[in-house]
Structure 1
Amino acid sequence: MSLDHIRAKRRVMRVALAAGLVAALSATGPATTASADPSAGPADPVVKTADDKLGPADAGLLAKAKAEGDKNVTFMIATKPGATEQVAGQLNAVKGASVGQTYDKLGYVRATVPTGSAEAAIEKAQKLSSVQAIDIKQEIALDNPKPSAESKSNQSAATTATTTYSGPDATTPAKNPYQPAFETGAVDFVKANPKADGRGVTIGILDSGVDLGHPALQKTTTGERKIVDWVTSTDPITDGDATWRPMVTNVSGPSFTFNKRTYTAAAGSYQISLFKESYTSGGDMAGDLNRDGDTTDSWAVLYDAAAGTVRVDLNDNGDFTDDVAMKPYKDGYQIGYFGTDNPDTAISERIPFVVQIRKDVPMDPYGGTWVGKTADFVNIGVIESEHGTHVAGITAANGLYGGSKANGAAPGAKIVSSRACTWSGGCTNVALTEGMIDLVVNRGVDIVNMSIGGLPGLNDGNNARAQLYTRLIDTYGVQLVISAGNSGPGANTIGDPGLADKVISVGATISKETWAANYGSVVTKRYALLPFSSRGPREDGGFTPTISAPGASINTIPTWEPGGPVAEAGYTLPPGYAMLQGTSMASPQATGAAALLLSAAKQSRIGLTPAKLRTALTSTATHIKGAQAYEEGSGLINIVSAWHLIKKGVEAHDYTVKAPVNTVYSSALATPGFGTGIYDREGGLKTGERRTYEVTITRTTGPDRPVRHTLEWANNDGTFRLDGPSSVLLPLNKPVTVKVAAKTYSTGVHTAILEVDDRSTGGTDTQILATVVVSKPQAAPSYAVNASGSVQRNSTKSYFVTVPEGAKTLEVAMNGLATGSQTRFIAIPPEGVPADPTTTTSCYPNYSTTNGCRPELRSYADPTPGVWEIEVESRRTSPLLDNPYAVTATALGATFDPAVQTLDEAKAGTPAPVTWKVTNGFAPITGKLQGGPLGSTATSRPTITQGQTVTTTVDVPAGASRLDVAIGNPGDASADLDLYVLLNGTVVGQSADGDSEESVSLASPAAGTYTIQVDGYSVPAGTTAYDYQDIFYSPALGSVNVDDTPVSLAGGASANISAEVLAKAPAPAGREFFGEVSLLNANGTAAGAGSVAIAKVIG
């Protein structure tokens, strides 16, 4: 049996459902200080079945932990608020398990259980009606905010602008393009309202930590301390953050021995641990905390539990009596330093730290004799990277660039720093979840910024994380502001958890002045979205991003890091400042701007709830010329106009919306086929066709009588109109349907905002996004879609192509580029997750590196049928302002008959002929055949039971070109089996979606014994048989040889083709030889393949 027969199928819907609480809880944003509206409770979450509570992606994480032999598994559970006791008690009863955290008011439980018991524990928890979702712990990577991967000396493209900006300095005014807070109106607002500069507002920054030593982050505008609290939100054990030191070794002064060394301390009882600078090797300091050029230093840490103090032997002299007794930062603002600064240098040669204490941490995750015990932990609080400091500076720096004029958005605000990131390049969802809760519930913040998140397949906002964010906003009156993501410019690339209904998700914008000042790049467009900024809509048609704000800034970084300008800008920056980009930078601009409104509202004694704040911002945002609603949200934030509206009185009712959705995931939505906005991507809408959509609106708050609402379009290119009157009476809690008609004469994506407004309230009550896509089909005879044009530097253009069912390959080719042009394409499948890297350093022609990507031609095997987006963009360093291009997307698909040809017997060393009939079902092909090395295959049909792991091994020789493993065709059609491939105990490949059709392919596998594990995640029948096959290909086994005669096949045409199989020796016992022949087009892209199995080889 061939891999083609049992290869993994695309289970889009089931896989998409995996977006769960854990990953989601990682990206919360700024919260506004306001009292919660007692009349507006959180909406009831969608009730999930037991099987839905742990999504397939999280099930895959669990199976991977089992396959790799992890000792423990940590998971987070969302319950009904006030219902955590039952599930916590149930988990505590599991031997070796521990409940690390609960928040009953929010309905949150985090537990760690032995991996061997995890499946049963989760299965039992899923059966509780109070449990709504379960997510497995995972790490979420931080996007790299640096605009370049290389220095100017490596840059192949010429500098694109004559330098007209010399860089920021102490004389830089408040309005400047380097830190463009003025674009949101923040500078004008503070000038008009000097006492509403953020004073009275505390901003939470959940990120990588904020540098305590930066001059611009020391004081507010009123001379108060800027950073008022500094904590680490990682878990002391399960997050693997070794800056948390377990205090389990008891010692007594005045003298004691620890770690083979004698120490002196005042008389008393203590606990001691060793802190090594190498624990921070994954951070920006690269493990050199004291800046002495090595990573080998360590310091003893002495903990006095009775006094609640910590001493660090910073001078490493073995004497704690000359070290300061430190308390947690908030209890006296004590700061220690690793290293000694040289005042004669601009850069700081020391790194600040604080201490933190967590008492009675369950030690069960360590296992063994630790089960059932607790211990206190001490954290040495240092930042992980520059990211959080830069975010903090954008939000609230006071006195940037060594001067007194340029500031962050809200210079009068205070900051609470919470480090959620570890030392491996990301932040765990546990830390992001609990750090957000801690900031909102315990740290007294008025607003929180979080610029971390990810892009799931099903980005509809219907997960436990979104429920938790809604509860935080509604229960504590704190608005969360979240970055939209950096996966743009494709449609439906909005990241999670910026998807949650009541958060403010922020897209990234830029002016032509900032392009020139910060990048040295010239454009003619006055204002635009940054190309990488993630776009909406949500998968359910929901309106995201909410608003937009500037996404590039020269701002604060740790003072011990050198300046980081963009090389092409032509100037240097002093230590402690860098130019970073991303929606990570846009979100704090919005957070700081919102803090100004909160500051002004407090001083004016205006109650500004999160709902009122959101309404004020979305009702007054400024439209960005040329941007559609799915790109900019409501528009560029406008604080001055928002404040005018707040002063007049802003109010809004709550509504639910039910609108038709047609996407590859629409059947997996909470209500299949319907969402919170119109989203017709896969409906086949044609140019000139008129289509009507019914939108049901229900007002859920406000007067208990019908209220007239106007219906008006905003940011509409003429595609949409109301099929009925321009106003509607909305009773309380009774649905009313309005009809929307769409008709357009151009291909592409078309969006508009339907504004539903009770004119008696201030601001627009609700905004509904309408999105339709008109795509070009890949149709006979060419099955190709061609597009050409010109794109300006730093701009993008998109084309939508319908890939037909049955296509084997989608090939995209770009040509027609001018000499030196740095213009690329990105392919985005119907799922909305880009198939190519979207980083600003990837896959550009004529650039210093393509990062292993082929700029002019790429192919996508087994493409999802449906509407693909092919976007074209020109890099900031392209030497041309206008960049011509031509792009072609072609569907290929040739079928071999039979798919697997069988040779009953072959003789070693003697070529054996084999033939196929090849039929071309798609684009014409002029190409050739390609053979390759023989493969050694083993097939079987084993059985597996619920929860069982079936293990097989395969020895792969040196020089193998590929290892393929596949399972499928279970006897129990509803079974969910997962596949893992391990080498030396490490998972090197996995396939774990929501069914049993799984496959893994490893190119150029290392020689060794591979362990193949099949996990019986779900077997409703109790036991099932399934097909298994593994193949490795190696020239040492033999080859499949073809001649080089050209092959030409028109669409629908057939031809007979032949090859010769040459086996060098008989196959080992229990294995057969297997080979492949591919049909390549003129570009070398595979249009189809056939296989040959050799039942027996004789000597």
Structure 2
Amino acid sequence: MRRAWPAAMLGIAALAACSKAPPEPPPAPPPLSKQGLSLSSWKAARPDLHDRLLLANATAKGDTEAMVMVATEVGKTKDVAAAIVALGGDIQTRFDEVGYLRVRLALDRFADVGALPNVLMAHLDGGGAHGLYANDRDRVRYPLSGSSPPPTPSQSTDTLLGNDVGSSSASLSIQIESLLTAAVSNENKVLARDDDGGRLPGGGLDLFALMANRAFEVHSTPLLFAAGAFGRVESVTGASSGRRVISVGEFADNRVPVTASLGPAADGALKPDVLSPGDFANAASEAEALIAAARAESLPADARHIAWALRMSARRVDGLQAHEQGFGVIDTARALELLKQLRDRKLDLPDIQTRAPVKTYLSRFLPEPGVGQGLYEREGWLARQKDTRNITLLRQSGADTPLAYSLQWQGNDGTFKTAQDEVSLPFNQAVEIPLEISAAEVGVHSAQLYLIDKASGLPVHALMTTIVAAEPFTAANNYRVEHREPSLPGASVKRYFLEVAPNIASLRLDAGVGGGQMQLMLTGGELDQLPSKIIAPNQPAVLLVPYPPPGVYEVTVLPTAAGAKDVSVAASIRYVDSQLDDKVPGVNSTTFWLNNIYAPLQRSEIVAEVGARRMLKDVGGASGMRAYNIEVEPGSTTLRVAASPPDGRARIGLYLYDCASGACKLWGSEVFTRPVTKTLVVPTPRAGLWRVVVDATAPGTAFEYTQIVTHPRFGNGTVAGENTARKTGARWNQKVSFQVGAAAPFGYDLVGVMDIIDPDSEADERAAPFSDWQATGDARNQPLRPLRLTTQVLRLDVRGTPASGS
């Protein structure tokens, strides 16, 4: 049964001060740490991909020490500090009340710190003078799939693992310590920040969020952080994703700007919390005004009550979903009225935690894999699909006897249903609430579920539920999703969500506009935002993403001020399955059997090359890492590296560094993807030294490593058969033969490498490029071509081959 909000709560109260002297404010409630409430605490996820990347950087560059940030159990900082000193660490900074240390430490003792008793998490600091990103700002950067187009030059050079790796010039430790210093000083009524500290996956459950929560809980200071300006779903900054932090989004002219970040947080938390008219500084001023007014009227003015009042009193905006606005537009008059009602009705504000399912491409890296602060499932949903989920609530403060709460949905379009309209929460006992979920249409569906205290009628807690019903690529749509919009008004936004399956060789995006202009963006999987593109009439654009990581991708269309007409956006996926004939038809020749699995190919072509291959079996070193040098000679056509666990189960990471200029720069890495074998391919690599780092994740973990460098001097290949159009499901074979040239260097063998490519898609991309790297001269946006749809390798017979001079 739907219940109405209390009428008094919806009234407007003036913040104007009375002419008479205000009464003495009541003593401030003690911080949460003094109220018997346990402070925020959780163990870090393992392996932490930031740390593995930084360790790989250190291994490639020969670094031997680094700064390490440590979070401890409450009250155990002194013991942990002593243990770290015993390991040879040099303590640089300590905040004992919140359980934080920063220490300079030898890298070979880093794992020992994380294993110490009472340590929740120990993370390497990537920035600052001793950061492991040092001297790496000008590296050629690529998203983690290695072969995917790199981000635009305007983006941070440290977004390799998402939005929140941290800047080289302002390390994460600096951001954390400046926050804690400001909280300790108590000089500010409100702490406001507009940076984006945090670590992958930025869901409010990382070290930065832990320290922000504890600063709130120990020092009772309201925290307001800017939500960011990434312009896409699930792009709220890691800094503002913490449970205690108020995440502030932009708001103007009764709408959210198209550049504003949208929720939820990566762990499903209800973010942004509120929207602020004007700039971010306005929200901080409003919060300070509320604190002053509350104190003047002897109302609760501590951090917890102020944060609750700002959230629960925010004014909802019609036409915006929950993930776009959070609780709504900040309204301090309503917040003050809410504080008055809380006092008059003698409500003891409870502290309630939410645990809910999270299913995204990165949710397995949350501290508790697949569980977050709100329900958020970006993967696995289709329109009209039905299923059930459970949300868990835990009341951590208040009466020992159970308390009753009404359940009320806000902003629900019918996607979410609860069989019950109230819940009873015992003290410190988890209670499950089952949900029925079914989305009528494709797209994002979000809503808020409020808990209303039955005794007072006031809202005390809210959580967000969000699912994304994506459009799949299927045989029915010929593995192509297409949308046409006759007209899109200026300053509007249109979003499409595409479900990309695992093991796809190519994602192709086509876009055009008949009138006006539009900006197009593509994000998804583990990719950071790819270069955006302004598209004008008669200037269509084609974007090819090789080996796209699986997941739900967001295509965002932003018309310019004048609007856009006759908008067309289409996406398709391609992959060709292949195998070699068991019976070799002749010396150094084979039959290549092929099957086009997904979208039709206008034409297929096989590129056959000869290369020198090195294969070995090895184990992870002291940090789980192992490095290999590769000397690439001039004229080499490709460099290929791969690593895999022999048991088919161990997690392996692969990092490739270009060291040809003297300073090793990360070229690409293969970490996130689920396939057991990790592979990177560099077309026309620079001559000189390259370095490969294999992350076996633990000392002594076995793996198999392979590298191939193709070069015309080793020989060449010829292909027999037609390069014709191939429809979906087409099967064909082609004979490939190799002529051997120079022998391989000692320790290597010669192999024939066969790549099937999509030449017509590449020609389309060259004719209508999405990236303007040629105009700007910035090679970071250069597409990595050719685009390989499948690869096979054949060991060659080298009898009679001249001896190698290498």
Same fold (TM over 0.5): yes
Q: Distance in 2 between matches of 1:241 and 1:722?
A: 48
Show the counterpart of 1:874.
559
Structure 1 residue 764 and structure 2 residue 752: aligned? no
Q: Distance in 1 between matches of 2:85 and 2:198?
A: 33
- Counterparts in 2 of 1:388-787, with a 5 A limit? 426-442=169-185, 444-453=187-196, 457-489=200-232, 491-511=233-253, 527-550=254-277, 585-586=279-280, 588-649=281-342, 652-687=349-384, 689-724=385-420, 726-761=421-456, 763-781=458-476, 782-787=478-483
SS at the partner of 2:393?
strand
Shift of 1:835: 4.5
Name which of 889, 905, 920 aligns with 2:571. 889
Shift of 1:473: 0.2
Structure 1 residue 821 and structure 2 residue 526: aligned? no
CA contact (8 A) 2:60 2:692 kept: no
C-alpha distance 948-762 of structure 1, shift in aligned 2 (>3 A): closer
Name which of 722, 739, 757 aligns with 1:1079. 757
The number of residues matched between the two structures is 710
Name which of 52, 57, 60 aligns with 1:59. 52
Shift of 1:1036: 5.4
Q: Deviations over 1:936-955 (max 9, x none)?
A: 33223345554476554322
Q: Deviations over 1:685-737 (max 9, x none)?
A: 432x444433333332223333332211112223333323x333333334444
SS at the partner of 1:822?
strand
Shift of 1:754: 1.0
CA contact (8 A) 1:1074 1:1094 kept: yes
C-alpha distance 970-619 of structure 1, shift in aligned 2 (>3 A): same
CA contact (8 A) 2:47 2:697 kept: no
CA contact (8 A) 2:479 2:598 kept: yes
Shift of 1:1013: 4.3
Shift of 1:476: 0.4
C-alpha distance 632-935 of structure 1, shift in aligned 2 (>3 A): farther
Shift of 1:1015: 5.6
CA contact (8 A) 2:620 2:697 kept: no
CA contact (8 A) 1:808 1:862 kept: yes
Q: Distance in 2 between matches of 1:240 and 1:925?
A: 44
Show the counterpart of 1:104.
96
Q: Distance in 1 between matches of 2:123 and 2:80?
A: 14
C-alpha distance 1081-804 of structure 1, shift in aligned 2 (>3 A): farther
Structure 2 counterpart of 1:130, which letter? N
Q: Distance in 2 between matches of 1:1044 and 1:905?
A: 18
C-alpha distance 929-449 of structure 1, shift in aligned 2 (>3 A): same
Structure 2 counterpart of 1:1083, which letter? S
Shift of 1:528: 1.7
CA contact (8 A) 1:955 1:1010 kept: yes
SS at the partner of 1:821?
strand
C-alpha distance 721-643 of structure 1, shift in aligned 2 (>3 A): same
Shift of 1:241: 14
Shift of 1:1063: 4.9
C-alpha distance 488-436 of structure 1, shift in aligned 2 (>3 A): same
Show the counterpart of 2:548.
863
- Counterparts in 2 of 1:948-1027, with a 5 A limit? 950-970=626-646, 974=650, 979-983=655-659, 984-989=662-667, 991=669, 993=671, 997-1014=677-694, 1017-1019=697-699, 1022=700, 1024=702, 1026-1027=703-704
Structure 1 counterpart of 2:690, which letter? Y
Structure 2 counterpart of 1:1075, which letter? V
Q: Distance in 1 between matches of 2:682 and 2:494?
A: 35
CA contact (8 A) 1:658 1:697 kept: yes
C-alpha distance 834-992 of structure 1, shift in aligned 2 (>3 A): closer
Shift of 1:499: 1.3
C-alpha distance 1036-869 of structure 1, shift in aligned 2 (>3 A): same
Q: Distance in 2 between matches of 1:675 and 1:1011?
A: 38
Structure 1 residue 134 and structure 2 residue 122: aligned? yes
Show the counterpart of 1:303.
none
Structure 2 counterpart of 1:108, which letter? Y
C-alpha distance 764-887 of structure 1, shift in aligned 2 (>3 A): same
CA contact (8 A) 1:488 1:533 kept: yes
Show the counterpart of 2:747.
1070
CA RMSD of superposed structures (Å): 3.6
C-alpha distance 1027-124 of structure 1, shift in aligned 2 (>3 A): closer
Shift of 1:767: 0.9
Q: Distance in 2 between matches of 1:431 and 1:601?
A: 33
CA contact (8 A) 1:787 1:886 kept: yes
C-alpha distance 436-1003 of structure 1, shift in aligned 2 (>3 A): farther
- Counterparts in 2 of 1:67-86, with a 5 A limit? 67-86=60-79
C-alpha distance 870-128 of structure 1, shift in aligned 2 (>3 A): same
Show the counterpart of 2:783.
none
Structure 2 counterpart of 1:867, which letter? V
SS at the partner of 1:1018?
coil
Q: Distance in 2 between matches of 1:993 and 1:1090?
A: 20
Q: Distance in 2 between matches of 1:1073 and 1:57?
A: 36
CA contact (8 A) 2:580 2:590 kept: no
CA contact (8 A) 2:522 2:555 kept: yes
C-alpha distance 989-801 of structure 1, shift in aligned 2 (>3 A): closer
C-alpha distance 762-712 of structure 1, shift in aligned 2 (>3 A): closer
Name which of 779, 796, 804 aligns with 2:493. 796
C-alpha distance 94-785 of structure 1, shift in aligned 2 (>3 A): same
SS at the partner of 1:1083?
helix
SS at the partner of 2:181?
helix
Q: Distance in 2 between matches of 1:797 and 1:40?
A: 48
Q: Distance in 2 between matches of 1:944 and 1:639?
A: 57
Name which of 921, 924, 940 aligns with 2:616. 940
Show the counterpart of 1:45.
41
> Share of identical aligned residues, percent?
23
C-alpha distance 467-954 of structure 1, shift in aligned 2 (>3 A): closer
SS at the partner of 1:62?
helix
Range that drifts further, 635-644 or 477-486: 635-644
Structure 1 residue 918 and structure 2 residue 594: aligned? yes
SS at the partner of 1:630?
helix
CA contact (8 A) 2:405 2:453 kept: yes
Structure 1 residue 845 and structure 2 residue 535: aligned? yes
Structure 1 counterpart of 2:82, which letter? G
CA contact (8 A) 1:898 1:1090 kept: no
Q: Distance in 1 between matches of 2:549 and 2:133?
A: 40
Shift of 1:1007: 1.5
Structure 2 counterpart of 1:753, which letter? Q
Shift of 1:762: 7.6
Q: Distance in 2 between matches of 1:112 and 1:951?
A: 24
C-alpha distance 676-434 of structure 1, shift in aligned 2 (>3 A): closer
C-alpha distance 883-1040 of structure 1, shift in aligned 2 (>3 A): farther
SS at the partner of 2:379?
coil
C-alpha distance 75-999 of structure 1, shift in aligned 2 (>3 A): farther
Shift of 1:443: 5.8
C-alpha distance 1043-619 of structure 1, shift in aligned 2 (>3 A): same
Shift of 1:796: 1.6
Q: Deviations over 1:451-509 (max 9, x none)?
A: 111675534322232222111101101011112233332x3222212111110112222
Show the counterpart of 1:1055.
732
Q: Distance in 2 between matches of 1:544 and 1:1061?
A: 58
